[in-house]
Amino acid sequence: MAKESKRNGRKFIICEFLLLLIIIGSASLWFYYSNKKKDLEKKNEEINIEYKGKQQEYETVEKELNELEEKLKSYDNLDGEITKVKKEYFNNIKKLEDEILAGTSDKKIAYLTFDDGPYYNTHKIFEILDKYDVKATFFLTNINGENCFDKKSENCYSLYKEYLQRGHTIANHTFTHGIFKGLYNNPSTFMDAVNKQHEHIKEQTGGYITNILRFPGGIPTAKAKLGENGFNMVTEELRKIGYGWTDWTAENGDGKDIQNKQQAWNMLTSYLNDNIEVILLHDYNSITTSMLPEVIEYLQNKGYILLPLFYESNMINK
Ligand SMILES: [Zn+2]
């Protein structure tokens, strides 16, 4: 009996020990896995935070990219925007012209125009115009090729871009200007010289398209040389290619044989009676260069606004 109870006691101890082992083992396992779970949860949270951060970064970059793309699009459309602003500006001046001509505005406009350039002397004209912040119109010809007026100074083709960079308007005065050298032989010789200069301006400026023309010698010369019919055929052709043409309402005689500044001054001021004037000058003439500051001041004092010409103007025949 005592032996049996001893055996039972040992059995009990072994059972207790095994139970303890199981409890300890389970507790260790539970502890181990709960720690592991915590680690995993922590890692998961860290990954989540990192992911959210990256997502935010990605969204910021994407937003920046979209903004850049929009900016690039607006640059693509810059030419279009400039054309739009220019059109609006010229439409407003056209309205002002209409009011002046109708007598409902007391404003005055003078268009300074310089024929036969480019010349080496054009730089001096640029400086004077810049000083007074005046924009003008230059009727260009290729009469001397790439050489300037004196045929020995710098290459004048570089000036084509400069006219535009300084805000002036370039217009067509034919490629050859050959009034006595076949320009007006017939409508097609004339139109060839117009088209050639149109392309030349485009080439030298990197794409500028003009739509204003001045006939070398003026409209009366063109009519006399081409005949009434020939002249009408030419103007019909000009309309077809979207061109307008203009003469002038005032001049200082610098393309003729004026002898001195006083004579040029007297001639010019005697013409200035209208509220819209197109003034013919030549940038090669030193008399013109020397009197230009006084001419600008005189016009401004008389209330004239000095502007570059544009196709829609009432002063352009179409
Ligand atoms: Zn000319």
DSSP track, the chain? -HHHHHHHHHHHHHHHHHHHHHHHHHHHHHHHHHHHHHHHHHHHHHHHHHHHHHHHHHHHHHHHHHHHHHHHHHHHTHHHHHHHHHHHHHHHHHHHHHHHHHTS---EEEEEEEEEE--TTHHHHHHHHHHTT---EEEE--TTTTB-TTSSSSBGGGHHHHHHHTT-EEEE--SS--TTTTTTSSHHHHHHHHHHHHHHHHHHHTS----EE--TT-HHHHHHHHHHHHHHHHHHHHHHTT-EE---SEE-STTTT--SHHHHHHHHHHH--SSEEEEEEETT-HHHHHHHHHHHHHHHHTTEEE----TTSTTSB-
Q: Find the 301 Cα to ligand 1 centroid distance in Å.
A: 29
Cβ–Cβ under 8 Å, residues 111 and 308: yes
Q: Find the 5 Cα to ligand 1 centroid distance in Å.
A: 140
Q: Find the 140 Cα to ligand 1 centroid distance in Å.
A: 8
Predicted local distance difference test score (pLDDT) of residue 244: 98
Q: Is residue 143 part of a domain?
A: yes
Distance between CA 135 and CA 62 in Å, rounded? 45
Q: Find the 248 Cα to ligand 1 centroid distance in Å.
A: 12
Q: Is residue 185 part of a domain?
A: yes
Cβ–Cβ under 8 Å, residues 147 and 156: yes
Question: How many domains would you assign to the chain?
Answer: 1
Contacts of 192 (CB under 8 A, 6+ apart): 175
Q: Find the 77 Cα to ligand 1 centroid distance in Å.
A: 36
Cβ–Cβ under 8 Å, residues 168 and 143: no
Q: Find the 9 Cα to ligand 1 centroid distance in Å.
A: 135
Q: Is residue 183 part of a domain?
A: yes
Q: What is the mean pLDDT of each run of 10 residues along the chain (318 residues)?
A: 68 76 77 81 83 83 86 77 87 97 97 93 94 98 78 77 96 96 97 98 96 98 98 98 98 92 97 97 93 98 97 98
Range of the domain at 158: 107-306
Q: Find the 173 Cα to ligand 1 centroid distance in Å.
A: 7
Q: Find the 141 Cα to ligand 1 centroid distance in Å.
A: 8
Predicted local distance difference test score (pLDDT) of residue 153: 61
Q: Find the 68 Cα to ligand 1 centroid distance in Å.
A: 48
Residues in the chain: 318
Distance between CA 296 and CA 33 in Å, rounded? 95
Q: Find the 28 Cα to ligand 1 centroid distance in Å.
A: 107
Q: What is the pTM of this model?
A: 0.77
Task: Quote the crossing angle between the two packed helices 261-271 and 286-301, to the nearest 10°.
Answer: 40
Q: Find the 290 Cα to ligand 1 centroid distance in Å.
A: 20
Q: Find the 299 Cα to ligand 1 centroid distance in Å.
A: 23
Q: Find the 216 Cα to ligand 1 centroid distance in Å.
A: 5
Q: Is residue 117 part of a domain?
A: yes
Q: Is residue 43 part of a domain?
A: no
Distance between CA 137 and CA 306 in Å, rounded? 11
The closest of 160, 239, 240, 166 to 200, measured between CA atoms, is: 160
Q: What is the identity of the amino acid at 230?
A: G
Cβ–Cβ under 8 Å, residues 111 and 307: yes
Cβ–Cβ under 8 Å, residues 226 and 215: no
Q: Is residue 29 part of a domain?
A: no
Q: What is the CATH number of the domain that holds 301?
A: 3.20.20.370
Number of C-beta neighbours around residue 308 at 10 A: 21
The closest of 289, 280, 294, 250 to 132, measured between CA atoms, is: 294
Structure tokens at 311: 């196709």
HSE-CB of 90 using CA atoms within 13 angstroms: 16
Predicted local distance difference test score (pLDDT) of residue 174: 98
Q: Is residue 16 part of a domain?
A: no
Q: Find the 176 Cα to ligand 1 centroid distance in Å.
A: 10
Q: Is residue 169 part of a domain?
A: yes
Q: Find the 179 Cα to ligand 1 centroid distance in Å.
A: 9
Backbone angles phi, psi at 117, to 5 degrees: -75, 180
Predicted local distance difference test score (pLDDT) of residue 154: 67
Q: Find the 95 Cα to ligand 1 centroid distance in Å.
A: 30
